[in-house]
Structure 1
Amino acid sequence: MSINCIRTLIEDAVQGHSDKSAIVYNEKSITYGELFTKVNQVAFYLNELDLPKDSRIGLYSTKGIEQVIAVLAILSTDYILVPLTTLLKSEQVEYIINDCDIKCIITDKLQLENIEEIDFNGHIISYETADKGIASFEEIFKYYNKPYVCDINGHSNAVITYSFGVSGTPKGIVISHRNLIDSARVVSQYLVLKHEDVISGVLIFNLDYGLNQIFCTLYKKATLALHRFILPEDFFNHIINDKVTVLPLMPVNISQMFDEDLQRIPSAELFSNVKTITSSGGNVTAKMIKDCKNTFQKADFYSMHGLTEAFRSTYLDPSQVQIRPDSIGKAIPDVELYVINEDGKECGVREVGELIHRGGYIYRGFWNAPEQNAERFKSVQILKDVINLEGQLTDELVVATGDYVYKDEEGYLYFVSRQDDMIKTRGFRVSPYEIESVVAKNIPQIEKCAVFGLDNELIEEEIVMVYSALNEITENEILFELKKHLASYMIPKRVIYKKSLPLVQSDKNKINKEALKNGLLSGS
């Protein structure tokens, strides 16, 4: 058995910790011993399906202990896990099934109807007994009691994750067992996780940040407390009742927590157990940090920046969070980060360039997507003018992230924009994020704001700003404020008011700019 696979973590955790709570969810809990037994039972059944090695197994269900069992069971076989969030529409699920040729889907009763709409021809396994023709975990736990033995290669593919953006078709990113182990190790190290920690499992398990909560729990033999975020009150109760010490969040979760009347938030004394908060998957605002600091007064706040092509690149040390809240921090352990310009030279202080990720945590690549792989995964030769490449070694891969960033005088990194978001106007490259940030900081009446470019043959692209607010604000008032903070070429040519802005279906914290563009182009 490889030491670099999740299966090793499961086997290590059950040795000497069999009676410890591994997972809690509402009133239910399961020990490491019970978890190990159930994982083995499901893995044994999956092996009996006799699918080809590396077959893809979809996991399409709501959160629960059975979902974690399914994750670990698939990773205890020669198959590959493909998480499918229940936020996806039937056609999106069907796209993923076809794209990576899923042979089996593990699901629950609630999602069975959606699968029937897809006309899926592979194996289906349900948590609950639902139909005589469909196997269930209930039956597997009852009848499959034979010993289970496996030998997983750490270099084998383990997971394919998909994320749906605002346009185009999504591509799955392939993650190895070694990647999963490395990410658990490094996070446990820089967050100083402990055996006695209770880690909140509020994040969904369709992407690596959410899955990492499971693997960090196993790595430290801690406890994972699952929760489905629906109402802030319930979430606060989860933190208090489950005695959560580590709270991994996304910015949207922080916004949801403090969206309510602050008078209704429980006393800070009730959250004294929380020692660590992490945030990734979006930009953290100074207000978010302040709200967390006021409520979780003993907690260190870690702001982190990850990639699609690698687990994580940076984190901002808690000591710096209030000093430079806009920074994405510095490289995590075992990673080297470089900012280079279009000529391949290293950028100077506060000069914007592309972030290049070298070192650990780089994933295997995009599934069946040679063009995307060629665009993002580059030879280390891309850094030939920045680092010493003695010996003509050319087989090392680095990630050209497509993230435009800059460094300050102390080496802290700041995110500016995605490569494909940049607006070219009047000979300049303009970051929509920079304009949106100025709006957020200086025009509080505006609730949401989206900035993007539309083709204009005279100036390449014209800058368009669409915003929502309780009441419309005059265009002159908005432009007057923006001119105080932005260069003249960054001022929007068009400012449009809408009562509400369309959101991305799979990420309700992200504005669907593609829908706004299409609406303007069609005149609606």
Structure 2
Amino acid sequence: MHSAPDPEPKPLDHLAERGAEGDPALILRGETLNHNELKQRVARLAAWLASEVPEKGARVATWAAKGELTCLMPLAAARAGLVHVPINPLLKHAQVAHILSDSGAVMLIGTKARLASLEEGNVPAICTVLEESAALAAAEALAGELPPSNADTDDLAAILYTSGSTGKPKGVMLSHANLWLGAVSVAYYLGMAADDVTLAVLPLSFDYGQNQLLSSWYAGGCAVPLDYLFPRDVMKACAKHGVTTLAAVPPLWVQLTELEWSDDAIRAMRRLTNSGGALTTDLVHDLRSIFPAANLFPMYGLTEAFRSTFLDPELVDSHPTSMGKAIPFAEILVIDDDGDVAAPGEEGELVHCGPLVAQGYWQDAERTAERFKPAPAMSEYGGIAVWSGDRVTRDDEGLLYFVGRRDAMIKSAGNRISPQEVEEAALATGLVAEAVALGIKDDRLGQAVHLIVRASGEGEDPQAALPKILAKELPNFMNPQVIHWREAMPLNPNGKIDRNALTQELSQ
């Protein structure tokens, strides 16, 4: 990294034009695409999308495992002037129905089994449903190619749905500039190059996961999408493809450090990146032992601003609990309760300013106003900033440290989970009269979902029936690890359920 990163954004689909034509760009299960073939496939899929959905700015959703469709859609939809809505393949029909309805998607492309799980009323009348294989075949049959777009970089390119502390998932609106500059920033501070191979194990519906592709292609490198069943699958893929870049969340790192890594899986590794939760000192030590030649990059981010900070690998050993400093194109301020910049060591709210800040929540002015507010007066960028709700401190060296979250979000295995969404699913069964979902500290998951319920008196055996229904209605990562049945809930002086008392009790 010698020169500063280019701050001028381009339309997102131009990422397909960056690599040398004969170099590998995307390693799929059955074939490897070089950068020329990547460019052609994006142009072809974009042409088909534009013919099927001529309305600019219309939303098109994908619900599929990692493959050609889900990897190409971020660029192809952008080139066609459409807005991509990637749906986490782990979600189930109720969550998918909400995303389709809320986004106003006019097309859903998914795998056969997932589409078959949808129930009557899940798909809005305006939404056309296509199987993944049929869509790719139709794009190939059309045989047309759409040239690179000249889209305004402030145009909407994607809506990524993320859970809030209350209510259903909300869609974060990301522009071409947001996604392009995110790719530039990460490729720059990671020092990525054209000979890098990134193993993309994280869901492509997350900003961290999608950036595995985008930053790799910005650098002219290669991405290997992988849906793994077991941690050993990750290790085998690293050996098979000579992986140089591996991104994960702490629970996966824990599992990976329990393996006996082969030399051929370690040999090419240049960098490890972590987000979605803090690394422990022991985990840092274990990763250092397994990958002695690889740089370790702890990072902090939030979908509303993509990524905020990273810790220089040279400081990991001496400052293992630090979040680091701002990434390129991000300005990070620590603001105290009086609205001033917090002094070193003083706790304040992390406020993210700059061009990585998203455009707000899709069709949700109220929640947008709560999180996206004018930048503090001392901001160099000004404009709208993301007020994260996370409490942090900054030391005398400028390094940031996480203190805690202001909201009640549960963060389990790298997933942000809305307690209310779990509670509403339990109440909807009719088996319980009251429900409280909490995140309780867990060594492997970061936080485990605990559900405390009071039976409604309905049903013959609610304790046996509730877990089965929740397993059907909620994605696996949202399902409670433990369900606690109570005769009565503790109440606070206002007559509301005392969540703090329950948290203290279960944390002992």
TM-score with structure 2 length normalisation?
A: 0.77
Alignment of 1:356-435 (within 5 A): 356-380=351-375, 383-384=376-377, 387=378, 396-421=383-408
CA contact (8 A) 1:7 1:75 kept: yes
Matched residue type, 1:40? A
Deviations 1:237-268 (A, max 9, x none): 1011110001111222212323x4x4xx1235
How far is 1:91 from its partner? 0.5
CA contact (8 A) 1:166 1:513 kept: no
Task: Pick from 290, 313, 318 the counterpart of residue 318 of structure 1.
Answer: 313
Task: Pick from 269, 278, 287 the counterpart of residue 283 of structure 1.
Answer: 278
2:14 counterpart of 1:8: yes
CA contact (8 A) 1:267 1:295 kept: no
Alignment match, 1:459? none
Compare CA radii of gyration and give the structure with the larger one. 1
RMSD: 3.3
How far is 1:419 from its partner? 1.3
Alignment match, 1:461? none
Distance 1:80 1:229, change over 3 A: same
Distance 1:9 1:191, change over 3 A: same
Matched residue type, 1:127? E
Deviations 1:245-294 (A, max 9, x none): 01111222212323x4x4xx123564121001111111211222122111
Paired residues, number = 432
2:51 counterpart of 1:45: no
Alignment match, 1:58? 61
Distance 1:70 1:359, change over 3 A: closer
Matched residue type, 2:142? Y
Provide the rounded CA distance (Å) in 2 between the counterparts of 1:515 and 1:317: 41
SS at match of 2:144: coil
Matched residue type, 1:306? G
Q: Structure 2: 5+ residue runs without aligned partners?
A: 1-7, 412-418, 420-437, 444-466, 491-496, 503-508
Alignment match, 1:24? 27
Distance 1:255 1:520, change over 3 A: farther
CA contact (8 A) 2:48 2:138 kept: no
Deviations 1:317-363 (A, max 9, x none): 11111222111111112322221221112222322111112223111
Matched residue type, 1:279? N
Provide the rounded CA distance (Å) in 2 between the counterparts of 1:155 and 1:416: 34
Provide the rounded CA distance (Å) in 1 between the counterparts of 2:331 and 2:101: 37
Alignment match, 2:133? 128
Provide the rounded CA distance (Å) in 2 between the counterparts of 1:50 and 1:28: 28
Provide the rounded CA distance (Å) in 2 between the counterparts of 1:511 and 1:322: 36
Provide the rounded CA distance (Å) in 2 between the counterparts of 1:346 and 1:137: 52
CA contact (8 A) 2:15 2:75 kept: no
Alignment match, 1:521? 489
2:298 counterpart of 1:303: yes
Alignment match, 1:145? 143
2:110 counterpart of 1:104: no
SS at match of 2:199: strand
How far is 1:28 from its partner? 2.5
Greater mean alpha carbon deviation, residues 49-58 or residues 205-214: 49-58
Provide the rounded CA distance (Å) in 1 between the counterparts of 2:488 and 2:249: 31
Alignment match, 1:207? 206
How far is 1:167 from its partner? 4.3
SS at match of 1:415: strand
Provide the rounded CA distance (Å) in 2 between the counterparts of 1:54 and 1:414: 39
Provide the rounded CA distance (Å) in 2 between the counterparts of 1:217 and 1:399: 26
Q: Which structure would you say has the larger RCO, counting Cα contacts within 8 Å and 6 or more residues apart?
A: 2
Distance 1:349 1:166, change over 3 A: closer
CA contact (8 A) 2:235 2:265 kept: no
Provide the rounded CA distance (Å) in 1 between the counterparts of 2:95 and 2:155: 27
How far is 1:466 from its partner? 6.0
Distance 1:349 1:151, change over 3 A: closer
Provide the rounded CA distance (Å) in 2 between the counterparts of 1:388 and 1:243: 43
CA contact (8 A) 1:268 1:296 kept: no
SS at match of 2:179: helix
2:178 counterpart of 1:179: yes
CA contact (8 A) 1:7 1:152 kept: no
Provide the rounded CA distance (Å) in 1 between the counterparts of 2:228 and 2:66: 10
Alignment match, 2:448? none
Matched residue type, 1:98? S
CA contact (8 A) 2:231 2:252 kept: no
Deviations 1:5-27 (A, max 9, x none): 122221343xxx22222111345
Alignment match, 1:84? 87
SS at match of 1:350: coil
Provide the rounded CA distance (Å) in 2 between the counterparts of 1:113 and 1:221: 38
Matched residue type, 1:145? A
Matched residue type, 1:128? S
CA contact (8 A) 2:24 2:35 kept: yes
Provide the rounded CA distance (Å) in 2 between the counterparts of 1:145 and 1:209: 33
